[in-house]
Structure 1
Amino acid sequence: MKALIAYASMSGNTEDMATILKQTLEEKGIDTDMLELDETSVESLSLYDYILIGSYTWGDGDLPYEAEDFYDQVSSLELNHAKAAVFGSGDYSYPKFCQAVHIFHDMLKTTGASVFPETLKMELAPDTDEDVECCKEFATSFLTWASLSEKRVENHVS
């Protein structure tokens, strides 16, 4: 299995989350690439079984500038083959905390991807042991969910 973690991070908070997710997936035996959204070729998404998208939220609930083209391009794809999840960092001082996470989550559903119903939203950086553990648990839960989804599909096919 191969995973892609594609993220946008201005202050490094979402990148820190992505790094923890990558380490956790690799500890579970998943070959994982980690790229910034504006460096990610949407054509390459078909190469991945798992796609995790991370983004901070800009202003009053908008996608950051560097995520807009990626969003537009991915929203027109068919990702029926993929299991996907979304994560991001935010700041509760803004009115729409981690809204970019919801925007990406909803968009991925329209692509036909199987989208993990849980999202990972974090206030600023994963600075505490509890925050790091939360990221690890998210990655582990995602893999468990993806594995169960694959088994359900296999049982319906056989």
Structure 2
Amino acid sequence: MAKILILYISATGNTEMMAEAIAGYLEYKNHEVVIKTFDFDPIDVEELLDYDLVLIGTHSNDDGEIPFEAEDFYDELDEVNLKDRLFGVFGSGDTAYDEFCLSVDLMGDKLEHIGAKLVPIRLKVDLTPANEDMERCDAFAETAVQMV
């Protein structure tokens, strides 16, 4: 049984739906899951070391940048040694914008840059997750725990 942190920010509820689906799958598989949001929960980057797997979800606005609520966390990732720690990234966006889910890629790129090990799938969903997207959330979660 793995100890897993799901950390996310959601503006419209779409990334939240993804986080809940991923958490539900992992809990069904008997893993210990802690869910935190950038909006309401204090996040200390040092606490990432307490988990076997950390899954980070972000939404992307029109410019695709890291959401304001997650900027400090993003910057503080450089301050802790996460080399070879396992992470996954996911999120929602809108393909109508020039940069689809750029914040997911920025978070994943940052984690790779500091030496973290990433789940090879960067799960991205266009707007509200459909049934097939929820199935992709399950597959993402399964791939992630297989790597623990």
Normalising by structure 1, report the TM-score: 0.86
1: CA distance, partners of 2:84 / 2:120: 17
> Following TM superposition, by how much is the alpha carbon of 1:37 offset from its aligned partner in structure 2, in angstroms?
2.2
Structure number with the higher helix fraction is 1
Of 92, 96, 101, the match for 2:99 = 96
Equivalent residue in structure 2 for 1:138, among 125, 137, 140: 140
Pair 1:23-2:24 in alignment = yes
Instruction: Report the counterpart of residue 111 of structure 1 in structure 2.
Output: 114
Deviating 4+ runs (over 6 angstroms): none
Please, which moves more after superposition, 86-95 or 29-38?
Answer: 29-38
- Among candidates 84, 87, 109, match of residue 90 of structure 2: 87
Distance 1:36 1:136 in 2: 20
Q: Distance in 2 between matches of 1:111 and 1:82?
A: 10
**2:111 and 2:38 mapped to 1: Cα distance?**
15
User: Could you tell me the percent identity over the aligned residues?
Assistant: 41
Q: How much has 1:142 moved relative to structure 2?
A: 1.6
Q: What is the RMSD computed on CA atoms of the aligned residues?
A: 1.3
1:118-157 mapped onto 2 (5 Å cutoff):
118-126=121-129, 128-144=130-146, 146-147=147-148
Letter aligned with residue 134 of structure 1:
R
Shift of 1:60: 1.6
The question of whether the paired residues in 2 share the 8 Å contact of 1:17 and 1:125 is answered with: no
TM-score by length of 2: 0.91
Higher strand share: 2
